[in-house]
Amino acid sequence: MYNNPSDEKIKELLSQFKTIAVVGLSDKPHRDSYKVAQYLQQHGYRIIPVHPRVQEVLGERAYKTLAEIPDQVDLVNVFRKSEETPQVVEEAIPLKPQAIWLQLGISNEAAAKLATNAGLAFIQNKCIKVEHARLLADGR
């Protein structure tokens, strides 16, 4: 598919998504993952927290793993160390999301290859909050 698509394609993808699983979403308001998820929630996205030690974040039930999520996921947003991302992508593929998004500072070519070989859009080393604000400043 594509790895780090154009602004036009990112805008199109963000306009289509409704449900975002956030892997590594902290329940601590000062953490970047929390701030990003809160922003997305405020802009109409449903957030599904994925964290092994958290029960609830931003009013949403948290799941220990991606495999436990019973609902359709459009995008998997990842806040994990770069070296952990291939495993996250492998866990995400059965959910059939449209895209995998690795946050700013996170990149992994093995994860990119896994995702693109599965036909998924793959964005890495970009902040979804920053890109949404830049490309869809009108709030969708």
The reported pLDDT for the residue numbered 122 is 95
**pLDDT computed for residue 50 by the predictor:** 98
User: What's the average model confidence in pLDDT over 18-41?
Assistant: 97
Give residue-wise pLDDT tens across range 64-102.
999 999 999 999 999 999 999 999 999 999 999 999 999
pLDDT single digits (tens) 128-137: 999 999 999 7
Residue 2 has pLDDT above 60, yes or no: no
What average pLDDT does the segment 112-119 reach? 96
In the block, which residue shows the tokens 């959910």?
A: 95
Beta strand 75-78 with 121-123 is unpaired
114: number of Cβ within 10 Å: 21
pLDDT, tens digit, 9 for 90 and up, residues 92-105: 999 999 999 999 99
Q: 7-135: what CATH class?
A: alpha beta
Q: Kindly report the pTM of this predicted structure.
A: 0.94
**What are the angstrom distances between the C-alpha of 119 and each of 94, 100, 102, 116?**
12, 11, 16, 5
Cα 39 to Cα 105, 127, 129, 130: the distances in Å are: 19, 12, 7, 10
